[in-house]
Amino acid sequence: MDDLFRPETDWNGLPDVAVTAHRISSLVANVVLWAIIGGAVWLFTNPLALPTGIVAVVGVAWTLWRVVRAGRWIRSFRYSEREHDLLISHGLWFKNLTAIPYGRMLSVEVTTGPISRLWGLAEVQLITASHESNGTIPALTAADAAILRDRLIAVGEAQALPL
C-alpha cells in the first residue's frame, strides 16, 4: 500500500544534513524533557534510588529510539510541486498525504531555529486559511528554501483565488 502515499510524480526529499540536524534537535529536546522528569522524580522520592533509576532507563531508551526514528522520519518526508497543488507526504506508522492547492495559499514563511541554523537549514511553511493544513517542509538548505518560497509565491499569485 506504500504507493498510496507516493503517487507518480517528481518527489523531492530533504537534504541529508537534515537527518543530522533533526537527530540533534530531537536529542536536545528529549534530554531536556527527561532531565526535568528525572529531576522531579528524584526530588519527590529522594532516599529511594529505584524510581529515579527506572526513569533514567526509560528516558535513555526513549531518547535513543526517538533519535533513531528522527532519521527515518526525515528520510520518509517527500514533497512535490505539481501543476496546481503542493503535495506533502510523511509519516512512518501514521502516514499522511496532504494536497494544498496553490490558490488557497495565503503566505509562505521561512523560519530557522538555532540548531538548524548550524547546518544552514530553514523551514518552509505554506500558510492557508486553515490552521489544520500544516503545509510545513521542515528542513531545506537556506538557499533552496528561499527559492522554493519565491516559486510558491509566484505560482500562488498566478492561481490566486479569494478566500
Partner 1 sequence: MTDPVDDPDARGDEGRTPPFPEGEVPPVPADEVAPVPADQVPALAEDVPAATEKLTERPHPLTPLIRGWIVILALAFGLGRELLNSVTEDRPLPPIAFLVGGFGVVVLIAVVIGFLSWLTTRFVIDADELRLESGILLRRSQRVAFDKVASIDVLQPLAARIFGLAELEIDIGSASRTKLRYLSRARAYSLRDYLLSRAHGHQAEIGEVATSLIELSDLQQDDEVLLRLSPQRIVLGAVTSNEFIVLVATILVTIGVVAAAFAWLPPEFTGGDRRTGFLGVSVAVIAIAVSGLSGVVGFVTRRITGQFNFTLSRRPSGLRISRGLTSLTSQSVPPRRIQAVQLTQSVLWRRPGWYRVEIDVLGQHLRNEDDTRASTSSVLLPIAHLEEVRMVLAQLWPDADFTTVGLRPAPFRARWLHPITAPFLGFGHDEQLVVSRHGWLERRWQLVPHARVQSVRISQGPVSRRLGLANLAFHTAGSRLHARARGLDATHVRQWQAELIELAQAHRPDITVPVIRPGQSGEPSGTVPVGSAGTHADGPDAFRADQADDTISSTE
| Contact flag: residue 10 with partner 1 (CB under 8 A) | no
Binds partner 1 by CB under 8 A, chosen from 43, 47, 132, 158:
132
Cα 127 from Cα 105, distance rounded (Å): 6
State the CB neighbour count (10 A cutoff) for residue 17: 16
The DSSP code for 4 is: G
> What is the nearest approach in angstroms of partner 1 to the Cβ of residue 104?
5
Return the residue matching grid coordinates 538548524: 116
Binds partner 1 by CB under 8 A, chosen from 84, 107, 151, 154:
84
The count of residues in the chain is 163
Binding mask 135-154 for partner 1 (x = CB under 8 A): x-------------------
How far out from the chain centre does Cα 77 lie? 8
Cα 141 from Cα 127, distance rounded (Å): 20
Nearest to partner 1 of 105, 145 (CB atom): 105
Nearest to partner 1 of 12, 159 (CB atom): 159
| Contact flag: residue 129 with partner 1 (CB under 8 A) | yes
- Contacts of residue 81, Cβ cutoff 8 Å, sequence gap at least 6: 10, 12, 148, 151, 152, 155
Chain residues binding partner 1 by CB under 8 A are 1, 4-5, 7, 84-85, 91, 93-101, 103-104, 128-133, 135, 159-163
